[in-house]
């Protein structure tokens, strides 16, 4: 009884961490830049394909691929920011939604054209697959790895935003762009880098998620609900909000499916409604 509960808790936390990993990029662009990028999943998908293709064709080690995936997606974000996104910063949210959802559909069509509609195979390294038994609880190694990556990433991002000069520039540029500009902060450049980092994180999340979520051209639309869920429930004012939201939703989703499988798939949505009624501005909101 207790061991099965611990197993469910572990799986739930790992699943929640995965939700956080694929959503954190969105909370960077949405929360920090107040820009609604519904094409977030397209960058996640790009990361996934880059990772799968490189592993298949060149046999590069998985760990080398992860930073490479981050950089590729960030670069793609940088290019798109210059040619498309920066013209949308000052437009209404509706314009942003329409433009980026269009981009999402284009990315789906492009992925189908280049890679076909099929699921892509991904073999994670041997030492990351399988299970270990800890105190009678079977723990999945890859899920443990996801948890570790999530924790590390949260620490790095929090430190970067709150303790570095660049983080301060980002916050200043978001809150009062004109004053920041006056103080000599290059707001355009700051946004450009922030956006690229958001896209890079999306790609990284996509690549890490392939093993659990699968990868096909429908990826950006299939998981858009989860990105938005995490960011909406968590709130966009800090990284902590989406992290707590993702972990909570992950545990509830897994526990629901394990203990009451008849209605398990709906529990995550019911929970979202409850949380949004209690805290309409998100779990962690700006005062």
Partner 1 sequence: MFKRLVEILAVSAACVAAFPAAAQEPLKIGMVLEMSGGFADFGMQMMNGARAYMKVHGDTVAGRKVQLIVKDTTGVPDVAKRVAQELVTNDKVDFLAGFGLTPSALAVASLATEAKKPMIVMNAATSIITTRSPYIARVSFTLPQVTAPLATWALRNGITRAYTLVADYGPGIDAETQFKKTFTASGGQIVGDVRTPMRNPEFAPFLQRIKDARPQAVFVFLPAGEQAVGFMKGFAERELDKAGIKLIATGDVTEDGVIEAMGDAPLGVVTTQHYSVAHDSAQNRIFLKAYAEVSGSSQRANFMAVGAWDGMAAIYEVARRLNGAIDGDKAMEILKGMKIDSPRGPVTIDPATRDPIETIYVRRVERLKDGKLYNVEFDQFTNVKDPTR
Stretches 40-48, 62-70, 188-196, 208-216: which one binds partner 1 (CB under 8 A)?
208-216
* Interaction between residue 258 and partner 1 (CB under 8 A): yes
As to burial, measured by CB atoms within 10 angstroms (0-12 exposed, 13-18 middle, 19+ buried), residue 183 is exposed
Stretches 58-66, 93-101, 165-173, 251-259: which one binds partner 1 (CB under 8 A)?
251-259
Residue given tokens 């590729």 in the structure block = 72
> Closer to partner 1 at the Cβ: 81 or 216?
216
* From 67, 116, 136, 280, residue interacting with partner 1 (rule: CB under 8 A): 116
* Interaction between residue 212 and partner 1 (CB under 8 A): yes
> Closer to partner 1 at the Cβ: 15 or 20?
15
Least distance to partner 1, CB of residue 113, Å: 11
Helix (H, G, I), strand (E, B) or coil at 264: helix
Least distance to partner 1, CB of residue 105, Å: 10
Least distance to partner 1, CB of residue 19, Å: 10
Give long-range contacts, CB 8 A cutoff, 24+ apart: 83-91.
85/35, 85/37, 85/195, 86/188, 86/191, 86/192, 88/35, 89/33, 89/35, 89/191
Q: Looking at the DSSP assignment, which residues form a beta bridge with residue 134?
A: 137
Give the number of other Cβ atoms within 10 Å of residue 236's Cβ.
22
CA distance 231 to 234: 5
How many residues in the shown chain lie near partner 1 by CB under 8 A?
38
Return the structure tokens found at 97.
């939604």
Binding mask 9-48 for partner 1 (x = CB under 8 A): --x---x---------------------------------
* Interaction between residue 285 and partner 1 (CB under 8 A): no
Helix (H, G, I), strand (E, B) or coil at 133: strand
Q: Which of 81, 26, 40 is nearest to 236 (CA)?
A: 26
* From 68, 149, 172, 255, residue interacting with partner 1 (rule: CB under 8 A): 255
């Amino acid at each position: 009884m207790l061991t099965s509960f611990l197993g469910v808790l572990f799986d739930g936390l790992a699943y929640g961490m995965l939700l956080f990993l694929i959503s954190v990029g969105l909370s960077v662009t949405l929360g920090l830049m107040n820009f609604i990028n519904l094409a977030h999943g397209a960058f996640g998908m790009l990361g996934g394909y880059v990772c799968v293709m490189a592993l298949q064709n060149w046999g590069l080690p998985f760990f080398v691929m992860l930073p490479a995936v981050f950089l590729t997606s960030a670069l793609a974000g940088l290019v798109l920011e210059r040619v498309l996104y920066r013209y949308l910063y000052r437009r209404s949210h509706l314009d942003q939604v329409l433009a980026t959802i269009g981009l999402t559909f284009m990315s789906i069509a492009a992925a189908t054209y280049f890679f076909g509609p099929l699921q892509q195979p991904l073999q994670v390294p041997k030492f990351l697959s399988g299970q270990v038994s800890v105190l009678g609880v079977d723990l999945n190694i890859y899920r443990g790895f996801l948890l570790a990556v999530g924790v590390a990433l949260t620490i790095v991002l929090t430190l970067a935003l709150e303790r570095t000069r660049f983080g301060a520039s980002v916050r200043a540029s978001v809150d009062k762009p004109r004053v920041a500009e006056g103080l000599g902060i290059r707001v355009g450049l700051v946004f450009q880098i922030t956006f690229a980092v958001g896209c890079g994180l999306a790609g990284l999340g996509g690549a890490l998620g392939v093993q659990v979520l699968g990868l096909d051209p429908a990826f950006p639309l299939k998981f858009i609900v989860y990105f938005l869920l995490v960011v909406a429930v968590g709130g966009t004012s800090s990284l902590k909000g989406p992290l707590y939201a993702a972990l909570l939703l992950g545990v509830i989703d897994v526990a629901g499916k394990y203990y009451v499988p008849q209605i398990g798939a709906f529990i995550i949505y019911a929970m979202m409604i409850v949380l949004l009624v209690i805290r309409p501005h998100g779990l962690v909101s700006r005062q």
